Amino acid sequence: GESVGLHLPTLSVQEGDNSIINCAYSNSASDYFIWYKQESGKGPQFIIDIRSNMDKRQGQRVTVLLNKTVKHLSLQIAATQPGDSAVYFCAENPYYNKLIFGAGTRLAVHP
């Protein structure tokens, strides 16, 4: 079946370093992907999205890379800050209706 998964369940980084969170997806027909950030007790917060006609998209301190050949997504966070500590999910939206999420990666930022 369709699934979106993550390579690393927990990522620990030092404040100021760059973070890279990876994600694999299985539906080769998917053409729209989103990264969400979820803090404890809160709903997922939209970070950045990318469509399959792009391989890179940049936001404020974040970059999403899409490799359709190997069905892989990554989220890069520059100059990671303590406020970036959260669980990060990639989600697939193959038909532009329901989102298909993976289990998430916890990012822990240490001073």
Partner 1 sequence: DTGVSQNPRHKITKRGQNVTFRCDPISEHNRLYWYRQTLGQGPEFLTYFQNEAQLEKSRLLSDRFSAERPKGSFSTLEIQRTEQGDSAMYLCASSGDTGSEQYFGPGTRLTVT
Contacting positions for partner 1 (CB under 8 A): 4, 32, 34, 36, 41-46, 49, 89, 91, 93, 95-104
The helix (H) or strand (E) run that includes residue 33 is strand 32-38
DSSP 19: E
- Asked if residues 90 and 34 have their Cβ atoms less than 8 Å apart, the reply is yes
Smallest gap from Cβ 78 to partner 1, in A, equals 23
Smallest gap from Cβ 43 to partner 1, in A, equals 4
Residue nearer to partner 1 on the CB measure, 32 or 62: 32
Smallest gap from Cβ 111 to partner 1, in A, equals 26
Residue nearer to partner 1 on the CB measure, 36 or 107: 36
Reduced to 3 states (helix: H, G, I; strand: E, B; else coil), residue 83 is helix
Residue nearer to partner 1 on the CB measure, 42 or 70: 42
Residue nearer to partner 1 on the CB measure, 102 or 109: 102
The structure tokens listed for 107 are 């990012």
Cα separation values, 77 from 8, 23, 59, 69, Å: 16, 14, 10, 23
